Structures are given as C-alpha cells and as structure tokens.
Amino acid sequence: MAKLKEKKPLHLANKMNIKKGDTVVILTGKDRTKVGTVSRALPQTGKVIIEGLNIVKKHVKPQGQTRQGGVIEKAMPLNVSNVMLKCTECGEATRVSRERRVVGADQKEHSVRVCKKCHKVIEDRTRS
C-alpha cells in the first residue's frame, strides 16, 4: 500500500520566508524564469500558489445545480523550494534572512525579512 505524506509538525509549519502578496521567480518546471505574485501561501504543506502560473486543465463533473461540469484551468501549488523571492529594493531574485530591527513609528524591535544581496528590508505587501 502507498505511504501517505506526513505533514510538518505545527512548530515547523510557519518557517516559510515567502508570504501572500510577494513577487517570486519560478526556478523549475514548465514556467521556469517567469515572475508572478503569490496568491496563497500554504505553510502546513510548504507550498505556494502563484497567480496565473503553473496552470493545469482539470476535468470536473457537474455538481447538481451549483457547479457546471467541463474542463477548467486551475493554478496548482508549487513547492516553496522551487520559487525564489524577488527583492523589492534591488529587483533581483534573492535568498532571505531574518533579523531583528527597529522598524516603524512605534520604534519597537521586530523580526524582518532582509535581502541577502543588498541587505535591505523586504517590504511586506500584505501589511502596507
């Protein structure tokens, strides 16, 4: 019998450096080198869904009066290791580090994402 994939433990589930709204570059697969925006991040499975990329055709059956059947195009999840964050400052695909810095008007220390190439804070598009 086939083995089911195990989910990551909850304490490891939120370790992704890519969030909803980030601009990413795809590193592998049919959409290699294409740039898109993350529409959904799935930290429990370590995957992201990118708007308009990694599209597959899916055959669906009609569900009574609510859903029409046919062939639909759907964006499928990509593993987070197959995408790379595009820096908001230098505009290049980069790795991400985390640092504790004083950010914002409240002058409190927060954990922020930092570009490994230009060492500047990566803007969080979901909060601004």
Structural domain includes residue 41: yes
pLDDT at 111: 83
Do the beta carbons of residue 92 and residue 69 sit within 8 Å? Answer: no
Instruction: Write out pLDDT tens, residues 10-20.
Output: 555 567 889 99
- 74 three-state secondary structure: strand
**Which are the contacts of 72, defined by CB distance < 8 A and separation ≥ 6?**
57, 58, 60
Structural domain includes residue 22: yes
CATH assignment of the domain containing 44: 2.30.30.30
Structural domain includes residue 47: yes
Residues 24, 50: Cα–Cα separation, whole Å: 8
Instruction: Tell me the whole-structure pTM to 2 decimals.
Output: 0.76
For 110, the enclosing helix (H) or strand (E) is strand 108-115
Structural domain includes residue 61: yes
Instruction: Write out pLDDT tens, residues 51-90.
Output: 999 999 999 999 888 888 899 999 999 999 999 999 988 8
